[in-house]
């Protein structure tokens, strides 16, 4: 267990708790994006092979897409209401 994994794990833990506790929806989304970046870095550090890099790239792109979809929907719901 290296120092880099420990620091990224601490950031991910902090973000997971803050997602659960924050009331604002937009801030929840911001912390979700940060958490998915942390998990992507942890994946690339955990699997010591080129396949781990491919998984990390795929997960990074797809989680960003998901967060953007939720942000767009929040804006649409504000427009409707």
Partner 1 sequence: MEILPLIAGICCVLGGIGVIVHTNPINKIIMFALLEIGMIGLIISSYYLDIAIISSLCEPICTIILLLGYLKYITTVKKKKRYGRNLPVLSK
Summarize as ranges the residues that interact with partner 1 (CB under 8 A): 1, 5-6, 8-9, 12-13, 16-17, 19-20, 25, 28-29, 32, 35-36, 38-39, 42-43, 46-47, 51-52, 54-55, 58-59, 62-63, 65-67, 69-70, 73-74, 76-77, 80-81
State the Rg of the chain over Cα. 15
Count the neighbouring beta carbons within 10 Å of the beta carbon of residue 39: 19
d(CA 22, CA 54): 33
Minimal CA–CA distance to 28: which of 80, 77, 74? 74
In angstroms, give the least distance from the CB of 11 to partner 1: 10
Q: Which two tokens stand for residue 70?
A: 């939720």
In angstroms, give the least distance from the CB of 48 to partner 1: 11
In angstroms, give the least distance from the CB of 62 to partner 1: 5
């Amino acid at each position: 267990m290296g120092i880099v994994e420990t620091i990224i794990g601490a950031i991910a833990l902090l973000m997971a708790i803050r997602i659960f506790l924050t009331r604002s929806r937009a801030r929840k989304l911001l912390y979700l994006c940060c958490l998915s970046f942390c998990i992507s870095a942890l994946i690339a550090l955990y699997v010591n092979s080129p396949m781990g890099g491919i998984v990390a790239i795929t997960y990074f792109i797809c989680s960003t897409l998901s967060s953007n979809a939720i942000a767009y929907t929040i804006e649409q719901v504000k427009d409707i209401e």
